[in-house]
Amino acid sequence: KNLEAAGWRPLAVVSITLFIPDLQTVEFPPYLKDCINCKLDKEYNEELTPEESNFLTQWSDMILLDYVTGDVDRVIGHVHNLKWDDRSFNRPVHNLMKDQEGSLYFFDNESAFGHSYRLLARYQTLHDVTLKRVCVFSRRTK
């Protein structure tokens, strides 16, 4: 009765999301901005601080996840927009936040798993570029 009084339809699809306090927006790390034409491999990773290395690993996992789910809202969207706006990498990344410890949170994938797959051929080149730039993944991803 309370749900109906609140205006919810019976059997409506809802999403319940865990609230995580103090999330912050995320911009592209400098080493990713500068490395759109280089490969972020093990040797490159050895030059990073432990914090940068952890962050890069999370980005690599996210880029792979975005490819598998067909998501173009985060990284691919920014890379695509570089054609028209060279400041694209200086803006917060869509659908990405981080907590106080630096852990990334990916969210809002409503365009993935359907709509984005129809656009996959259009963005395949950009997916190829980003996937070839990262090859440092967390042990859980391997």
Segment 59-107, tens digit of pLDDT:
888 888 888 888 888 887 777 777 788 788 888 988 899 999 989 998 8
Question: 3-class SS at 37?
Answer: coil
Q: What is the pLDDT of residue 115?
A: 64
- pTM of the shown model: 0.72
Domain membership flag for residue 16: no
Q: What is the dihedral of CA 78, 138, 140, 133, to 10 degrees?
A: 50
**Averaged over 115-120, what is the pLDDT?**
69
Query: Range of 99's domain?
Result: 22-133
Domain membership flag for residue 36: yes
- How many domains does the structure of the chain reveal? 1
d(CA 60, CA 81): 20
Please determine, for residue 21, whether its predicted confidence score (pLDDT) is greater than 90: yes
